[in-house]
Chains A and B, each alone.
Chain A
Amino acid sequence: MDTLNNVQSIRYFIPELILVAFAAGVIIYDLIGRQEGGRRAAHLSLAGLAAALIAVLLVGAADRSLFLGMVQLDSFAVFFKVIILITTAVTILFSMGSEELDPRTKGEYYALLLAVTLGMFLMASSTHLLMIYLSIETVSLASYILAGFLTHSPRSSEAAFKYIIYGAVASGTMLFGISLIFGLTGTGDVVQVSNVLAELFSSGGGDYQLAVLVSIIFVLAGVGYKIASVPFHMWSPDVYEGAPIPITAFLSVASKSAGFALFIRLFYSGFGSANVIESVDWSLLLAVVAALTMTVGNLAALPQQNVKRLLAYSSIAHGGYVLMGGVLLTAEGVHAILFYLIIYLFMNLGAFFVVILIAERIGSETIDGYRGLVTRAPLVAISMGIFLFSLTGIPPLSGFIGKWLLFKAVLTEEFYWLAIVGLLNSVVSLYYYVRIVKAMFLDSSDEPNPVSFSIGSRALLVVFVVPTIILGLYWTPVYQLSKASLGKILG
């Protein structure tokens, strides 16, 4: 693969540059004219995202290593960039109608979202440990502010504060791990790290085993924090509950996807590919983490009354399901992860959108607020039902297909216990998802008046519902797309 120098790399870096330009543009625009409540700033940001999307697609998967091996531009990166762009655009659409955000500060808010997007782009494409660290920090710092954006709400401030503390610990740990690896191998390039380590061990360097193990686990802590896997998940329910709902939706989809991109890159082209440590059963370690993550997420979701918090735990659980695909370090597993992330994008954003709509029109974030929704707003209730059953994984909805691919990947490698744990978790998850369904369909509301929603909201809702159903019945195109996106990541 070609490695380009800094000047040659610029033309492949245009999408990122566009994001930087628009982020700066939004701030400047916001300083000049802020009377219209951030509407124009939102349009400008959307335009920026559209431009970046076009640039991403035009530049395409060049299969080149940019900036002297710092960043890789391959189809895998393109895949995640598109997912991140879509999620950001949706988040901006959610935020435009949001009444909890202060209209005076919305300009900064959008600029920050663009900055996070930039960081996530880098997370999806970094191949150098230092670059990985910087990209995580870019995402984290901006996310801290976004989570605490509701300055009048103590919950939001608490969320931001917790986020910072956990984040600082996780990234500090990661940085320590990176420094150890650099000390052991003398390089930061992920592929070279794995080569050097492999050499080290083949020449009987058994003394380094512990040091390597510890440093990789430290690096894993940073990644685990981003995908909210056990035991680094503690921040996520509080942050998800306190943050503005569009940000919660954003974190649960985009941040998680970027985290998985990083995880796959690190473990597939880095630590995992050369069988760095033979005495440690990586698959088993990751399998245990995956099993714990989904179990903890699902069990903690059971008693929740706050729908936002419930979905927060549910998204921890989904992180666990997705991690199952990464356990075996097989191509099939990664393929299943990519596929699942597409499906998850639609159903999870859809569910959060309903939460936003209900919070605004009914003024409730608890399950009680959903009572009798089917008579008050049938479209919203039925859509929510579809999202929730899809999250459970009931056929013929798309969530089932996503899970099906993941479980198939696990079973192909004969990891039976993990598949059983995962599927029993689906049964557990049904119980809490159905509590919302029950409130919407089976209970009656004290307030029978219908609730109306704008045409735009309803249209956006349908945009999420349609793929959630269609991809459950016919998913070949998406399957091919995610297969093509695997690219050369697997060596």
Chain B
Amino acid sequence: MFLSLMIFIPLLGMVVVLLLPRDQEELARRVTLGFTLIPLLLAVVLFMQYDRSASDLQFDFDTVWIKAFDIHYHIGINGISVTLLLLTALLGPICVLASWRNIEKGVKAYLALFLLLETGMIGFFCAQDLFLFYVFFEVTLLPMYFLIGIWGGPRREYAAIKFFLYTLFGGVLMLIAIIAVYIKGGTFDIPTLIDLASREGHPLADRTFQIWAFLGFFIGFAVKVPIFPFHTWLPDAHVEAPTAISVILAGILLKMGTYGLVLINFAMLPKGMELFCNGEGRWGNAFAVLGFVNIVYGSLCALAQKDFKKLVAYSSIAHMGFVILGLAARNESGMNGAILQMFNHGVISAMLFLLVGVVYDRAHHREIGGFGGLGSRMPIYTGITTVAFMASLGLPGLSGFVGEALSLLGAYDKFPKLTILSTIGIVIGAAYFLWTLQRVFLGQLNPKYADMPEINRREIVTLVPLGILTIVLGIWPSFAMDMFNEAVKGLIAPLG
């Protein structure tokens, strides 16, 4: 019931916001903030209560939804989902605060859609029934389409429909795989299916079947992550989306893809995973190569960007590559690294997009070359940005380093050459972040921005918790890793 509360409180909030009188915009904002703070509070309780020494589902709740098909409302969390749940709940209020002043038209509708989106995301990370899982996966699409399409930048309509079409395309292929799994397994219950798939002789354990189902799910999630070549919607969506929505997009929605890969492809379809990750044969390197391409290609693209936000968007693609590489390794350090990287990227990319938003709100453009010397004008802003940049480029002592290092360490065991090549991405990452730092903040102050106001209190409130997390996790990564270490061990145990 605890998790249900968390899922549906934002939905309740949506109803409340819609019922408020039209002109009460300030009230609507406060109410929304309240309704996003409750899940955060619950998430913190969850974090405390979660039994770190167990690898099975906790806070399990299971009831029949549609009897004829054995569809259940089954929710529960393991160490991996609880981490992402915490991230989701944390970014909720931060995004509401980040949209406080920049969203002027249709405030109520915006907030209502945002709350609906939050329900979809939280539900997705809790779902333990494949049907429910798919429903929540798709539920996030509609609000996202409208949030980008109505409140976005000049090319918002194009970006919104592109996002929608790409994700739905991946979604329907996944749907075929879901139905096929259901027909073979006779149930939607994810833990049961994982168990059946590991029994030799069961139709679900059939290798050919697993490979095809793997591909269906993989494309569905790959669009979301996004994995090259399905990534082209991401820069458009990020550039056009309002700041808070970019934060959600990078922070949570991308993680839905990698979380799905862990939950379904990794755990339920090990033979498919095996084919693409064992390092042998024609396809054995496929998964790792995709990770490598994401890292290097994403970094190179980021290096070429003139638009600040697009740079961050491409760096997102690069950093998600480390998650893919870590998953491909299929060993403890690779998996731990991948999942930690998911969480860290959620925090760091959220920070980066918030920071871009701060400067965009003041200058109304995002041209990296159009600033210069902001460091002298906005020292606090510059300080926070430097922390975020350093975390993102993987400076030891900050959180980005730990996840990436573990991923690479794990991957090196299996794919030494690819791993070495992937480190090029880190070098390029350092290059574009430092170069950006130099162009935007150092040097002579651009006279156009001589009276640029410093970052304000509300903006600091959105950034500080994330900054603290980056530093804490850099020094004390077990703070998060203890949560999912057991779950990871459980995942890789069958691989021997």
Shortest CB–CB separation between residue B455 and chain A, in angstroms?
Answer: 32
Shortest CB–CB separation between residue B179 and chain A, in angstroms?
Answer: 5
B141 interfacial by beta-carbon distance below 8 Å: yes
A412 cross-chain contacts in B, Cβ below 8 A:
183
Shortest CB–CB separation between residue B169 and chain A, in angstroms?
Answer: 5
Stretch of A124-132, A254-262, A419-427 at the chain-chain interface: A419-427
A453 interfacial by beta-carbon distance below 8 Å: no
A409-430 contact mask (Cβ, 8 Å, vs B): 1 or 0: 0011000100110011011001
Query: In the complex the two chains form, is B135's CB within 8 Å of A441's CB?
Result: no
A13 cross-chain contacts in B, Cβ below 8 A:
none
For B149, the closest partner residue in chain A by CB is A442
Stretch of A74-82, A146-154, A474-482 at the chain-chain interface: A474-482
A396 interfacial by beta-carbon distance below 8 Å: yes
A431 interfacial by beta-carbon distance below 8 Å: yes
- The verdict on A411 contacting B176 (CB below 8 Å), with A396-B139, A442-B149 known, is yes
Query: In the complex the two chains form, is A438's CB within 8 Å of B149's CB?
Result: yes
Partner of A476, one of B67, B138, B160, B176: B67
B169-196 contact mask (Cβ, 8 Å, vs A): 1 or 0: 1001101100110110000000000000
Query: In the complex the two chains form, is B149's CB within 8 Å of A430's CB?
Result: no
B125-151 contact mask (Cβ, 8 Å, vs A): 1 or 0: 000000000110011011001100110
A162 interfacial by beta-carbon distance below 8 Å: no
- The verdict on A427 contacting B66 (CB below 8 Å), with A395-B134, A395-B138 known, is no
A480 cross-chain contacts in B, Cβ below 8 A:
68
Cα A430 to Cα B165 in complex, Å, equals 7
Query: In the complex the two chains form, is B138's CB within 8 Å of A394's CB?
Result: yes
Question: Helix, strand, loop or mixed for chain A's interface?
Answer: helix
B29 cross-chain contacts in A, Cβ below 8 A:
none
Cα A412 to Cα B179 in complex, Å, equals 9
Residues of B in contact with A, size category: 20 to 34
Query: In the complex the two chains form, is A394's CB within 8 Å of B169's CB?
Result: no
For B66, the closest partner residue in chain A by CB is A476
Cα A389 to Cα B65 in complex, Å, equals 23
B319 interfacial by beta-carbon distance below 8 Å: no
Query: In the complex the two chains form, is B183's CB within 8 Å of A441's CB?
Result: no
For B109, the closest partner residue in chain A by CB is A374
- The verdict on A389 contacting B172 (CB below 8 Å), with A408-B179, A411-B183, A442-B149 known, is no
Cα A248 to Cα B72 in complex, Å, equals 40
Query: In the complex the two chains form, is A434's CB within 8 Å of B164's CB?
Result: yes
B356 cross-chain contacts in A, Cβ below 8 A:
none
Cα A426 to Cα B176 in complex, Å, equals 13
A407 interfacial by beta-carbon distance below 8 Å: yes
- The verdict on A394 contacting B66 (CB below 8 Å), with A408-B182, A423-B176, A427-B172 known, is no
B378 interfacial by beta-carbon distance below 8 Å: no
- The verdict on A431 contacting B165 (CB below 8 Å), with A396-B139, A412-B183 known, is yes
Query: In the complex the two chains form, is A441's CB within 8 Å of B149's CB?
Result: yes
Query: In the complex the two chains form, is B165's CB within 8 Å of A427's CB?
Result: yes
Cα A404 to Cα B175 in complex, Å, equals 9
Cα A427 to Cα B173 in complex, Å, equals 10
Query: In the complex the two chains form, is A396's CB within 8 Å of B183's CB?
Result: no
B238 interfacial by beta-carbon distance below 8 Å: no
A197-237 contact mask (Cβ, 8 Å, vs B): 1 or 0: 00000000000000000000000000000000000000000
B66 cross-chain contacts in A, Cβ below 8 A:
474-476, 479
- The verdict on A396 contacting B175 (CB below 8 Å), with A389-B142, A427-B169 known, is no
- The verdict on A476 contacting B142 (CB below 8 Å), with A426-B168, A426-B172, A438-B161 known, is no
B454 cross-chain contacts in A, Cβ below 8 A:
none
Cα A183 to Cα B149 in complex, Å, equals 62
B231 interfacial by beta-carbon distance below 8 Å: no
A434 cross-chain contacts in B, Cβ below 8 A:
145, 161, 164
Shortest CB–CB separation between residue B473 and chain A, in angstroms?
Answer: 35
B67 cross-chain contacts in A, Cβ below 8 A:
476
Shortest CB–CB separation between residue A155 and chain B, in angstroms?
Answer: 31
- The verdict on A423 contacting B172 (CB below 8 Å), with A394-B141, A408-B179, A434-B164 known, is yes
Partner of A395, one of B135, B149, B164, B179: B135
Shortest CB–CB separation between residue B276 and chain A, in angstroms?
Answer: 20
Cα A430 to Cα B163 in complex, Å, equals 12
B157 interfacial by beta-carbon distance below 8 Å: yes
Cα A285 to Cα B241 in complex, Å, equals 46
Partner of A424, one of B65, B135, B145, B169: B169
Shortest CB–CB separation between residue B278 and chain A, in angstroms?
Answer: 26
Cα A434 to Cα B161 in complex, Å, equals 8
Query: In the complex the two chains form, is B176's CB within 8 Å of A419's CB?
Result: yes
Partner of B156, one of A400, A416, A442: A442
Cα A474 to Cα B73 in complex, Å, equals 12
Cα A395 to Cα B156 in complex, Å, equals 24
- The verdict on A427 contacting B168 (CB below 8 Å), with A396-B135, A438-B161, A480-B68 known, is yes
- The verdict on A430 contacting B176 (CB below 8 Å), with A442-B157, A479-B68, A480-B68 known, is no
Cα A424 to Cα B174 in complex, Å, equals 11
A404 cross-chain contacts in B, Cβ below 8 A:
175, 179
Shortest CB–CB separation between residue B139 and chain A, in angstroms?
Answer: 6
A476 cross-chain contacts in B, Cβ below 8 A:
66-68
Cα A363 to Cα B66 in complex, Å, equals 43
A400 cross-chain contacts in B, Cβ below 8 A:
138
A454-491 contact mask (Cβ, 8 Å, vs B): 1 or 0: 00000000000000000000111001100000000000
A407 cross-chain contacts in B, Cβ below 8 A:
175-176, 179
A479 cross-chain contacts in B, Cβ below 8 A:
66, 68
Shortest CB–CB separation between residue B198 and chain A, in angstroms?
Answer: 23
Interchain Cβ contacts under 8 Å between A and B, 29 examples: A394-B141, A394-B168, A395-B138, A396-B139, A404-B175, A407-B175, A407-B176, A407-B179, A408-B182, A411-B179, A416-B176, A419-B176, A426-B168, A426-B172, A427-B169, A430-B168, A431-B165, A434-B145, A434-B161, A438-B161, A441-B146, A441-B150, A442-B149, A442-B156, A442-B160, A474-B65, A476-B66, A476-B67, A480-B68
A395-B134, A476-B68 provided; 20 other pairs, C-beta below 8 A?
A394-B142, A394-B168, A395-B139, A396-B139, A404-B175, A404-B179, A407-B176, A408-B179, A408-B182, A411-B180, A411-B183, A420-B173, A423-B172, A426-B168, A426-B172, A430-B164, A430-B165, A434-B161, A442-B157, A476-B67
